[in-house]
Amino acid sequence: MPMKISISSLQGTFMSGASLCALAACLTALTSCGAGTAAAISGGGGDSSGGNAPPSMSGFTVLDPKLPTQARVRFVLSDPEANPANVEIFYQAPGQAAERLTQVGSNPAALATSSAGIEYELPWNFAAEPALPDDAQFIDDVQVFAQVEGGQQEIVLGANAASIGLGNDAPVITDVDEPSGEGAGIVLVEFTVADTSNDVVSIEVKYDIVGDAPDAGWQLARPAGEETTPLLAIRDVVVDKNGTDLRFFWDTNVDLAELERDVRVRFTAVDPVAVGDGAVSAVFRVDNNEEPIATVSDLLVLNSDERAGIPISYTVRDEESDEVQVVFQWRHLDESFPPLPDTPAEIHLILADPIQRQALHICSEYPTWVEGRLVPVDATSVRLPELATTASSILAQGIVGREIEILRPPNVLTPMASKWSSNPLDHPVAALPIGDGIEALVLDRAGSGAWRLRQIDLATGVVTRAIANSATGEPSAMCFATDERSVLIATDFAGAWQVSRVDLATGARSPLIADQGTTESGQIRGIASLGSHAALITVASSLVRVDWSPAASPTVAIVLDGLATPCGVVVDPLDVNRIYLAERDAVTDDGVGQILSIRLDALEVLPIVAKSVTV
Select the more confidently predicted residue: 12 or 51. Answer: 51
Asked whether the predicted pLDDT for residue 481 surpasses 60, the reply is yes
Question: Mean per-residue pLDDT for 431-455?
Answer: 91
Question: What is the full DSSP assignment across 559-601?
Answer: EE-S-SSEEEEEE-TT-TTEEEEEEEEEEETTEEEEEEEEETT
Distance CA 530, CA 532 (A): 7
What pLDDT digit, counting tens, does each position of 222-276 carry?
Answer: 999 999 999 999 999 999 999 999 999 999 999 998 888 899 999 999 998 899 9
Question: Mean per-residue pLDDT for 288-294?
Answer: 83
Asked whether the predicted pLDDT for residue 20 surpasses 50, the reply is no
What pLDDT digit, counting tens, does each position of 560-597 carry?
Answer: 999 999 999 999 988 888 999 999 998 888 788 899 99
Q: In the prediction, which pLDDT does 610 show?
A: 65
Confidence of residue 38 (pLDDT cuts 50, 70, 90): very low
Average pLDDT, the chain: 85
Select the more confidently predicted residue: 609 or 208. Answer: 208
Asked whether the predicted pLDDT for residue 76 surpasses 90, the reply is yes
Asked whether the predicted pLDDT for residue 153 surpasses 80, the reply is no
Q: In the prediction, which pLDDT does 47 show?
A: 47
Question: Mean per-residue pLDDT for 337-360?
Answer: 89
Q: In the prediction, which pLDDT does 270 show?
A: 95
Burial of 361 (0-12, 13-18, 19+ CB in 10 A): middle
Asked whether the predicted pLDDT for residue 454 surpasses 70, the reply is yes
Which residue spans within 72-171 are E strands per DSSP? 72-78, 85-92, 99-100, 109-111, 118-123, 139-148, 161-166
Asked whether the predicted pLDDT for residue 37 surpasses 70, the reply is no
Q: HEC profile for 376-437?
A: ECCCCCEECHHHHCCCCHHHHHCCCCCCCCCCCCCCCCCCCHHHCCCCCCCCEEEEEEECCC
Asked whether the predicted pLDDT for residue 79 surpasses 70, the reply is yes
Asked whether the predicted pLDDT for residue 29 surpasses 80, the reply is no
Confidence of residue 6 (pLDDT cuts 50, 70, 90): very low
Select the more confidently predicted residue: 363 or 550. Answer: 363
Tell me the percentage of the chain whose pLDDT exceeds 70.
88
Confidence of residue 71 (pLDDT cuts 50, 70, 90): very high
Confidence of residue 613 (pLDDT cuts 50, 70, 90): low
Question: Mean per-residue pLDDT for 533-543?
Answer: 94
Burial of 24 (0-12, 13-18, 19+ CB in 10 A): middle
State how far Cα 210 lies from the chain centre: 9
Confidence of residue 28 (pLDDT cuts 50, 70, 90): very low
Q: In the prediction, which pLDDT does 512 show?
A: 93
Distance CA 430, CA 512 (A): 19
Confidence of residue 474 (pLDDT cuts 50, 70, 90): very high
What pLDDT digit, counting tens, does each position of 162-191 carry?
Answer: 999 999 999 999 999 998 888 999 999 999
Q: In the prediction, which pLDDT does 90 show?
A: 96
Q: In the prediction, which pLDDT does 45 show?
A: 41
Start-to-end Cα distance in the chain: 103
Confidence of residue 443 (pLDDT cuts 50, 70, 90): very high
CA distances from 19 to 42, 102, 104, 350 (A): 6, 19, 21, 89
Q: In the prediction, which pLDDT does 166 show?
A: 94
252 phi, psi to nearest 5 deg: -75, -15
The SS3 assignment for 280 reads: strand
270 phi, psi to nearest 5 deg: -130, 125
What pLDDT digit, counting tens, does each position of 91-133 carry?
Answer: 999 999 999 999 999 999 999 999 999 999 999 999 999 999 9
Select the more confidently predicted residue: 28 or 411. Answer: 411
Distance CA 460, CA 440 (A): 12
Q: In the prediction, which pLDDT does 369 show?
A: 75
The SS3 assignment for 604 reads: strand
Q: In the prediction, which pLDDT does 82 show?
A: 93
Confidence of residue 281 (pLDDT cuts 50, 70, 90): very high
Q: In the prediction, which pLDDT does 32 show?
A: 36
CA distances from 103 to 71, 119, 498 (A): 11, 19, 50
